[in-house]
Structure 1
């Protein structure tokens, strides 16, 4: 009996030894066969590459000394990983065994795997992958092979999201709420708000939009023709990667979810937020998700909400509507319009309503030391983000106001005050009297007066026109509305002013209509090149801003010249600026048919709010399409070139550029193109 057990154990050992030998032999044969997949460099060089990427100049210089790097190729990931998004991959997140609260969508937020679980290989394209269809045709159709998720077409067939036709997926422009087209739905929202000609951009005053639960982003896609850019947001959920459809279509989009962490955008970034059947429980956790939208909306910004709760009469929907209405009322939102299945709320313009609430009213105001622009990995808070004291009109701000009085003038020029530029304002035709005295409130950049007379809607972008308009209609002899005790004795003596003329504005008017520094923006496209009001937060001058804009205009022109041999006007659509600073790279691409995802590193100056104030979009990220532009020292560029063939990248062009006003040293610009490459499985799928 004992002998039998011993024989059995010996046989098992033989089997295991045999299995181990076969396995080792297989691994050896595989590595010999795919020897070109090995990376032939030492650990020292690898460390240098990593540190120079994450670190500073010293690390980069250290890497220059080692010229022994020889890279043949990188290993290719399994074909099943063609859509891998490491920190948002549901399978990887599941393997981490994290205790995540599914009820608050925590499992759809970023959870990066440990280093030992990360894939150090190149992501292959899906089988049968084709070069994407070019914009603007791509808005309405993409290759089916590029995004193999046709089940979504069947699931949403009654909602006109998408239709499979042969080897393409067609997007008719429908959605869960707007079966007959996003364009008609967008026009209806503009009509509800009384905007001229049913155009939602309202003369350029609605520019940045957040679309929550965007589906395949047809709403954002159809906004582009109105010069509105939307950040279309959706998670990698049961519908799989809807954002991949959006990006394949050439529509700005971002993988994300309203869960437990703040969205990666600064406060006061959007003029309008939108939710159409987005299936979000806005009442959960004391309204924390609505309060996150409140943080992101500009003063006077809108939230357009299309959902059964806005119109249905069953008991549950009525309950939700009552509770939601009570919540937004305590948040000081007002109903701007309500029609059929859509309600539009508007955010207050000032802190006044917050200050007038009863003590203990919920939700509370956020703590004064809470930074509303800190977003990377920061938990949401169930509180209202007020406008800071220095951003509201009051006695302390009055010392910054300059009153200029003019007589016998047909054109009026506001002279420079601190960082503001010179602005010429044409005399309003309604003012006929030559002797009219004019006092201009110069606390915000002042632009054309005429626009204020065109519309009854006063959005945040228009309100600074009211300052001009009211001033022009006032005469110096009418002292009844003057603010007592505030005098400006030196009003351009050459124009024979009244020596003790005081500011020609009632204080109540200023308190009601003066905006925070994050609004009062010029209409699009003027705001793209106007100094953002929040420059002062960084101590930047308008001169610095103008210089940065000019430098990047020159640089982008040079980049485009290098690209010219390889591209046509429709070759490039989706662009990422990995270190966007003030967004001047994106601004320089204004006349190209592209959109730019501006990325601001989370460990640097949070200049993303300047980017949004310019009417651009972007995100914060911790680093990390077709073309890559590297501008650096020549030695760094040469080091990068060694890796191109291993990554299936190709050098488009290299050019040495002379020092400019931003750089004292000469740089080298390297333009790279990612080539289309297919695995053997991909080739079989395309046959």
Structure 2
């Protein structure tokens, strides 16, 4: 219906009337003086006040560790402090024949402010036969979805706005100080008064992350950040300073790390406003499509690429675009003791068998890295004397096959031209027909319609007719992203979008990466791999229609 309105524009009056009705409804619902639904009123849920946020505070403000913490903007109240409100029955739904359900709200309090059901299932983790290949960091969802509400951390505050948040966040929002002590000599993060401050240091960023990024491009100029290179994967990202800095160069980075003893590193990243997710290269594929990323980066990421039969590196090969680059910044590149030399020789043998070639290498102790390039055709695979690892059969690399699927022990065949060619430079690739759609005429038409639709919806309704303060929105998720039209329509806003493709639907995630956007596969009948309070806005379009059948 929306599509027809924007295509024909014959029902503009009806559209205006609909917008007015929505606006009036929002006004009534947000008016504190009108109690429309007293049986849905939850007075014990605290409201945050934006008035306490120092929106004009300069980045350099936190200078004194002894400064007193700011007063909390919310009066923290436990969810379970009001037992009379639990088990509230919605009679208005029970009496409606259209619903024909008896809905009970019987929420309990979750065990932790950072509870993630599929990663904190200690019962399942204890039953694992092995943890050698990071099985305990993978997803282990409970048999029944938890019915609990995640409490706020004590003294939680409304997050600082972007771009201020990239350099400093409230300590009370992520009250995990262990990383400060653990990484104090590497300048990852510092505690300063009521803030955590991120100076831009890192294990390999001896002269700062900006110098490190510029040195990579100086070493290999073809890595033209923000033009040829748009979509990057950062493995074992720490607090994601690498990805956060690349945003200034029009590069969007999917930073990931496991939920491990490096306390809350992904939570730090998301609170800063940097794209990130919880994941691990263990025994299963990453939730990304084949041939997705322009560049993959690892700076002392603690992944044994040559371990587990070389499967971790084969997984990087799968998600790296043909002709793409792997930047490996680690001690075996420039240290020369026997242990490091053995690791380097093993990596050299493995990458050669995969037809990766070294295109740059530095041996400086401050910034030491090697850059590999993946081949852009199968010719090298076919000419190998020892075809190990072998080429995959088609069944192993079919679409939508990255969800709960074991790591490959083979090399996927590379797509042939024009599908296998490198996308246009940024920003042209956002609007041009994605290379992954060249096979199907119908898909190309659907892509054009989707882009036109969301451009119209965004400019005519979402940006101006809804009660959304877009200046406070930065971390956004599109829960049923399609071709990424929603994210593309927001490209000029200072925010980023995590495009989610449900695993039971059409697989369009390759198209999203071709456009220079980022995304991930997910099953919405399970919990998402992220911390509570990660996103400012969730967008859902025709998602629950399909899920209701499950």
Identify which of 206, 209, 213 aligns with 1:186: 213
Rate the CA distance shift 1:594–1:562 in 2: closer, same or farther, 3 A.
same
Which of residues 308, 322, 339 in structure 1 aligns to 2:345?
Answer: 322
Residue 296 in 1 paired to residue 344 in 2? no
Q: Where does residue 533 of structure 1 map in the other structure?
A: 435
Within the candidate set 397, 402, 407, 1:371 is matched to 397
Alpha-carbon shift at residue 332 of structure 1 (Å): 0.6
1:357-398: CA deviation from partner (whole Å, max 9, x where unpaired): 01x43211112332254101111111111214xx2xxxxxxx
Structure 1 residue 305 displacement after superposition: 0.4
With over 3 angstroms needed to count, the CA separation of the structure-2 counterparts of 1:335 and 1:93, relative to structure 1, is: same
Q: TM-score, normalised by structure 2?
A: 0.77
**Matched ranges for 1:410-559 at <5 A:** 515=417, 517-537=419-439, 540-557=442-459, 558-559=461-462
2:237 paired residue number: 214
Displacement after TM superposition at 1:203 (Å):
6.0
Structure 1 counterpart of 2:407, from 374, 380, 396: 380
Alignment-derived partner of residue 465 in structure 1? none
Match of 1:35 in 2: 84
Q: Which of 470, 473, 486 is the aligned partner of 1:585?
A: 486
Q: State the 1:64 CA deviation.
A: 6.9
1:350 and 2:387 are equivalent in the alignment: no
Distance 1:611 1:31 in 2: 42
- 2:464 is paired with a residue whose SS is helix
Q: After TM superposition, give the deviation of residue 263 of structure 1 in Å.
A: 0.3
Q: More relative contact order in 1 or in 2 (CA 8 Å, sep 6+)?
A: 2
Aligned: 1:205 with 2:228: yes
1:239 to 247, 259, 262: 262
Q: Which moved more, 1:580-589 or 1:237-246?
A: 237-246
Cα separation, partners in 2 of 1:106 and 1:70, compared to 1, 3 Å: closer
Partners of 2:205 and 2:463 in 1: CA distance = 39
| Structure 1 contact 235–241 (Cα < 8 Å) conserved | no
Tell me which of 107, 130, 140 is aligned to 1:75.
Answer: 107
Once residues 245 and 152 of structure 2 are traced to their aligned partners in structure 1, the CA distance between those partners, rounded to angstroms, is 28
Residue number in structure 2 paired with 1:615: 516
Select which of 163, 166, 175 maps to 1:139: 166
The answer on whether the counterparts of 2:93 and 2:103 sit within 8 Å (CA) in structure 1 is: no
Aligned length: 451
CA contact (8 A) 1:105 1:257 kept: yes
Alpha-carbon separation, structure 1, partners of 2:358 and 2:148: 52
Q: Which has the higher helix share?
A: 1
Q: Which runs of 5+ in 2 are unaligned?
A: 1-78, 526-534, 546-550
Structure 1 stretches of 5 or more lacking a match? Answer: 1-29, 47-61, 392-514, 637-687
Deviation at 1:320, TM superposition (A): 0.8
- Counterparts in 2 of 1:146-295, with a 5 A limit? 146-195=173-222, 200-202=223-225, 204-295=227-318
What does 1:661-680 align with in structure 2 at a 5 Å threshold?
Answer: none
Distance 1:255 1:63, change over 3 A: farther
Q: Is the 8 A contact 2:478 2:538 kept in 1?
A: no
Q: C-alpha root-mean-square deviation of aligned residues, in Å?
A: 2.6
For the residue of structure 1 that corresponds to 2:269, the secondary structure is helix
1:309 to 323, 332, 342: 332
Q: In structure 2, how many angstroms separate the alpha carbons of the residues matched to 1:356 and 1:276?
A: 32
1:643 corresponds to: none
Deviation at 1:540, TM superposition (A): 2.9
Tell me: CA distance 1:136–1:203, structure 2 relative to 1, closer, same or farther (3 Å): closer
Q: Given the alignment, which residue of 465, 471, 476 partners 1:562?
A: 465
CA distance in structure 2 between the aligned counterparts of 1:579 and 1:203, rounded to whole angstroms: 27
Distance in 2 between residues matched to 1:81 and 1:582, nearest whole Å: 36
- CA shift, 1:98, in A, is 2.5
